Structure 1
Amino acid sequence: MKKILFGLLTFTLILVLAACGSDDASGEGDSGGDGDSGDDGVQETTIKFSHVVAENTPKHQGALATKEYIEEASDGKITVEIYPNSSLFGDQDEYQNLVSNNVQFIAPDLSKFVGNNPQFNVPSLPFAFDNDAAAIAFWDGDKGQEILTSLTDDGVLGLYMWPNGGKHLTNDSNPIDSPDDLEGLKFRTQGGQVLEAIYTTLGAGSESIPFGELYTALDQGVVDGQENTFSNIESKKFDEVQDYMTVMNHTRVDYAIFTNTEFWEGMNDATREIVEAGVEAGTETARAEAKALNDGGYEIIKERGDVEIIELTTDQVQAFRDTLEPIYNEFEDEIGADVYEAVRSANEEHGGS
């Protein structure tokens, strides 16, 4: 009997040890990742990165740099799939699909989040930033980071701001060189309380239309005009369906790269270290490319010659500034005097051009 009991205990111990060994080998016990870990601890996984603009834009160049770094550093264990031009998700559904972890990275216009937090209206404040450097300094600072990380209740984490640049007006009705010239026109905007207030103040209407549908909306006269950066106007060929472009720099298009918190926290340390470094590399590229691509886009628009270009004088710009100044008082309670002060500080340190 003793021999039989000893044999049973030995057999049971072997089964327990084998099960423990199997759990250790899987590499999935503590990492929360969706793939096996190799000898270096990096999990095999596929990351989807969706955005709504064309390939020859700062955003797409940043996405490519992110992809290239992650795939090379992981020896191909991590695959990054990029979906530009709203080919996977568009303006209206990319956020919800990020919340659901159907996509792991998006880089939307920050104004898309004003319904979640009105402080995302900062890029829409009229003439708020002198240049890209000032805007970057704000979003990298304490107040900017506080805003970017304000969506965690939805399971969304903002990482870095990716600039696109100052916006300019196009329309197919008349040249615009004074606030009165917008009276009665309707413009497509990215949406948000501040942008709506800007056009109301200027006597114009505004309508939020998904970026992927904007060319058709302009062509069919759904709206008279739109506001965008040079690189977006050029790459989407909006000048083909518009007659006039006013160089304004009155508001900005700034993006940020957002991720799903379940995905982000589910990576083990070795995997997240590579992905974080990849996002940093993408951020560096997107920021470096923004001014060059906007400058290049402006030259291409001029060369194509499809629109009459109006470059405002200092006095003409000041007329717009004066007309739109009351908007700051209107939204101070929602956005915050402390945010306004952080914007001013960023301009003082990096403005002047």
Structure 2
Amino acid sequence: MKLTRTALAAAALLPVALLTACGGGPGDGSVKLTLAHSYTQDQAAHTCGALTIKEKVEQADAGLTVEIYDSSQLGGDADRIASVLSGDIDIDLQGASALAAVYVPIGVVDAAYAFEDGGHVSEYFRSDAADVLKAGFKERSGINVLGAWSIGPRHFTANDPIRTPEDLKGLRIRFPGSPQFLMNAKALGANATEVAFEEVYLSMQQRLVDGGENTLSNIEAGNMDEVQDYLSLSEHQENSNLIVMGKAFDDELTPEQQEVLLAAVHEAEDAMLECVVESDAELIEMFDAQEGFEVVDDVDVDVFREQADEWFLKNLTGDSLAAYESIKESAK
């Protein structure tokens, strides 16, 4: 067992190109693509997202195969972005906030209430409205955005119900430390406290923070229902995954293979929307049945949305503001 684990660890450090023996592209028509992400094999982004891409690509019989590396086998978010840039990873699932380290304006995809719902995320990136944002990102990084989906809306948990921005006053709410998430806290009227996800449970248990915000699946995975009294269904942010691919899309794939891959991504987007809606409904029902963890379903979302929109229009500038406005306009 020790030898096996050591071998696997060593393999994870090898260049992905050596692991996958990537095909020669248009020259021989056969290409093996690597797809990497940070999710476990039982999470929707893998089961409904990554596996759908693999299945649909290979069913098309266009000389493409997909090898998936889940659970951060090929590194954390920052490492994988670097590997996409270098060409060692072909396709990656990344949050917009992580990609903002490469191109700041793309971070607004994670802005509070930027999107109407999960479907709007995918629809926006399929539309012409996203062309300027995708082109700006590609010009800066050389990376293509093939599509996007939401892994679910984020909600507040706390020891008090949160129905309006007024209810956030005086509360220390855990937010991730990325610039866009911290801007979201300001836009929503929250007092942000940065805590690593792995430390959230203990921080809540010891009352170092009064609450947090996350997707329902992460709230369950982190057992936050054990150390919080209320789940307030604020739906204040669609948690994004962008499906990104480096130069291999342009240099190694034929036009037919490009179309096959994009079609597979779109089918995965649709599958993800259905999976997330179903999973979130089940989780809300489960939480609602629990003793000591009350689901607050009368959050004044309109008040939160109006406040956030006013804040972003006032504080975003340049290409970031243009990207935010294009997202809001596309909802109409």
Tell me the TM-score range normalised by the shorter chain. Answer: 0.7 to 0.9
Q: Structure 2 CA distance, aligned partners of 1:91 and 1:333?
A: 26
2:100 maps to 1:114: yes
CA 1:274–1:230 in 2, change beyond 3 Å: closer, same or farther? same
1:273-306 CA distance string (max 9 Å, x none): 5444433332332233332222233223334556
Instruction: Provide the residue aligned with 2:293 in structure 1.
Output: 307
What are structure 2's unaligned runs of at least 5 residues? 1-20
2:18 maps to 1:34: no
Instruction: Provide the residue aligned with 2:9 in structure 1.
Output: none
2:39 maps to 1:52: yes
Amino acid in the other structure paired with 1:66: I
8 Å CA contact 2:32, 2:64 repeated in 1: yes
TM-score (norm 2): 0.76
Q: CA RMSD in A?
A: 3.5
Instruction: Provide the residue aligned with 1:267 in structure 2.
Output: 252
* Residue in structure 1 matching 2:67, options 80, 85, 89: 80
2:246 maps to 1:257: no
* Residue in structure 2 matching 1:330, options 288, 307, 314: 314
CA 1:335–1:265 in 2, change beyond 3 Å: closer, same or farther? closer
Q: Structure 1 CA distance, aligned partners of 2:274 and 2:100?
A: 27
Deviation of 1:50 after TM superposition, in Å, equals: 1.9
Amino acid in the other structure paired with 2:330: A
CA 1:307–1:91 in 2, change beyond 3 Å: closer, same or farther? farther
CA 1:99–1:44 in 2, change beyond 3 Å: closer, same or farther? closer
Q: Structure 1 CA distance, aligned partners of 2:110 and 2:82?
A: 23
What are structure 1's unaligned runs of at least 5 residues? 1-32, 349-353
1:179-237 CA distance string (max 9 Å, x none): 233324031236224x323424625024263x577566656766543322223433554
TM-score (norm 1): 0.72
Helix, strand or coil for the counterpart of 1:67? helix
* Residue in structure 2 matching 1:65, options 52, 56, 66: 52
8 Å CA contact 2:35, 2:50 repeated in 1: no
1:24-68 CA distance string (max 9 Å, x none): xxxxxxxxx933689x94425352322336623245411011122
Instruction: Provide the residue aligned with 1:159 in structure 2.
Output: 146
Instruction: Provide the residue aligned with 2:8 in structure 1.
Output: none
Amino acid in the other structure paired with 1:327: W
Instruction: Provide the residue aligned with 1:230 in structure 2.
Output: 216
* Residue in structure 1 matching 2:326, options 334, 338, 342: 342
Q: Structure 1 CA distance, aligned partners of 2:200 and 2:80?
A: 17
Instruction: Provide the residue aligned with 1:294 in structure 2.
Output: 280
Identity %: 21
1:128-186 CA distance string (max 9 Å, x none): 33323333333222232322343333232111011233221123x43323323332403
